[in-house]
Amino acid sequence: MTDTAAPPTLDDVARLARVSTATVSRCINSPDRVAASTRARVETAIKTLGYTPNFAARFMAAKRTFTIGAIIPTMENAIFARGLQAFQEELHQRGYTLLVSSSAYKAEAEEEQIRTLVARGADGLLLIGHDRDPQIYDYLAQQHVPVLVAWSYSETARVPSIGFDNRAAMRSLAERMIALGHKRIAMISGISEQNDRARLRIEGVKDAMAAHGLDPERLAPVELPYDVHSGAAAFVDLMSHSPRPSLVLCGNDVLAVGALRGAHQLGLKVPEDVSITGFDDIELAQVVTPELTTVHVPHREMGRKAAQELVGMVEEKRQGVSEKLETTIMERSSVSILRDQSE
């Protein structure tokens, strides 16, 4: 589109200054918000090319803040950390700054944080999962703030999502465990109310049980906050039941690490005495002994793609396109084989 004869464009300035076009526009619109060293580089490029800021008029009319908001359920245990880090890196490359809020898994707190981020001028929002009061989506539509969901994928939801199929992923893991001979299955889940990830993972286990002649009603998942202490306590309790489960499926890696601690407290060996699995494949899964068999979620890919899609929605004023990402089962050392795997 540009050649040396044509007047220099914003793109030319950005290329010469080695910054994004968004950063160039920020230098012009709100220089106060750009680091001095970056501003100097952009100013040099503008002078070198003889770029006239008048060309930027259309860009300025966009009135963007170059701020994206994300609300995650928790900052603890790094469940969302890696995906969010990739989300932020990709946003940064496109000239956007990320502001994050953590709702502590509370719907009321999330609603307040959504309103705050909108009031503070966020150009777009990333939310985790689809389960929330429909009025929130009404509000965001009224405010013309694009919203994208991650960590969950739904074809039918009102807003687009870059995520994965929590139900199918957990079903795959449970089926693999059943194929290894596990029939006495227990589950320690996150709290499923207003948490589609937790709810769908329970459904996934039930799907697998039903498909293999086990009664899904016997699963009776325990629902607890996603923390190590809860996982340990729930595990100790489960082990007092008779007959004892041979396998405890956990709703995420944090609960599974708690279950490992519970086993340690009881003097039970994992996986010899009982098998334990997680979900997420965060770093925690590999620092514990034994390393956890879990479901690997492509956190970095999800974060990166979510940023690309959300910025596209903001800049091109278009509907977002959902994408389902693949998960994989990571078989490590926390599960025992109870019988010949051929069936």
Among 19, 27, 98, 126, binds a copy of itself (CB under 8 A): 98
Contact 26, 65 (CB under 8 A): no
Whole-angstrom distance, CA of residue 208 vs CA of residue 195:
21
Task: Kindly state the smallest distance separating residue 260's Cβ from a copy of itself, in Å.
Answer: 8
Question: By CB under 8 A, is residue 287 in contact with a copy of itself?
Answer: yes
Whole-angstrom distance, CA of residue 285 vs CA of residue 311:
32
Contact 184, 245 (CB under 8 A): yes
Whole-angstrom distance, CA of residue 292 vs CA of residue 285:
5
The secondary structure of residue 212, as a DSSP letter, is T
Pick between residue 103 and residue 154 the one whose CB is nearest to a copy of itself: 103
Tell me which amino acid residue 8 is: P
Question: By CB under 8 A, is residue 308 in contact with a copy of itself?
Answer: no
Task: Kindly state the smallest distance separating residue 291's Cβ from a copy of itself, in Å.
Answer: 10
- Strand (E) positions, 151-293? 161-164, 185-189, 222-223, 247-250, 275-277
Pick between residue 178 and residue 297 the one whose CB is nearest to a copy of itself: 297
Task: Kindly state the smallest distance separating residue 64's Cβ from a copy of itself, in Å.
Answer: 12
Task: For 93-105, give the DSSP string.
Answer: HTT-EEEEEE-TT
Among 260, 268, 306, 314, binds a copy of itself (CB under 8 A): 260
The secondary structure element, H or E, covering residue 48 is helix 36-49
Phi, psi (rounded to 5 degrees) for 98: -100, 130
Q: Interaction with a copy of itself in 228-247: which residues (CB under 8 A)?
A: 228
Question: By CB under 8 A, is residue 270 in contact with a copy of itself?
Answer: no
Question: By CB under 8 A, is residue 37 in contact with a copy of itself?
Answer: yes
* Number of DSSP helices (H) and strands (E) in the chain, helices first: 13, 12
Q: CA angle, 226 as apex, 100 and 271 as ends, to 5°?
A: 135
Pick between residue 98 and residue 180 the one whose CB is nearest to a copy of itself: 98
* Helix/strand/coil percentages in the chain, nearest 5: 45, 15, 40
Among 102, 194, 308, 322, binds a copy of itself (CB under 8 A): 102
Question: By CB under 8 A, is residue 323 in contact with a copy of itself?
Answer: no
Question: By CB under 8 A, is residue 157 in contact with a copy of itself?
Answer: no
Task: Kindly state the smallest distance separating residue 17's Cβ from a copy of itself, in Å.
Answer: 14
Among 38, 93, 322, 328, binds a copy of itself (CB under 8 A): 38
Phi, psi (rounded to 5 degrees) for 112: -65, -40
Question: How many positions of this chain bind a copy of itself (CB under 8 A)?
Answer: 53
Pick between residue 174 and residue 228 the one whose CB is nearest to a copy of itself: 228
**Stretch 116-145: interaction string toward a copy of itself, x if CB under 8 A:** xx-xxx-------------x----------
**Stretch 191-210: interaction string toward a copy of itself, x if CB under 8 A:** --------------------
| Piece of the chain touching a copy of itself by CB under 8 A; list 55-63, 92-100, 176-184, 209-217 | 92-100
**Stretch 69-88: interaction string toward a copy of itself, x if CB under 8 A:** x----xxxxx-xxx-xx--x
Pick between residue 49 and residue 136 the one whose CB is nearest to a copy of itself: 136
The secondary structure of residue 323, as a DSSP letter, is E
Task: Please identify which residue in the block is written with the tokens 């025992």.
Answer: 336
Task: Kindly state the smallest distance separating residue 170's Cβ from a copy of itself, in Å.
Answer: 23
130-163 CB burial, b ≥16 within 10 A, e <16: bbbeeebbeebeeeebbbbbbbbbbeebebbbbb
Token duo for residue 284? 């925690």
* Residue ranges in contact with a copy of itself by CB under 8 A: 30, 32-38, 65-67, 69, 74-78, 80-82, 84-85, 88-89, 92, 97-102, 104, 108-109, 111-113, 115-117, 119-121, 135, 228, 257, 260-261, 283-284, 287-289
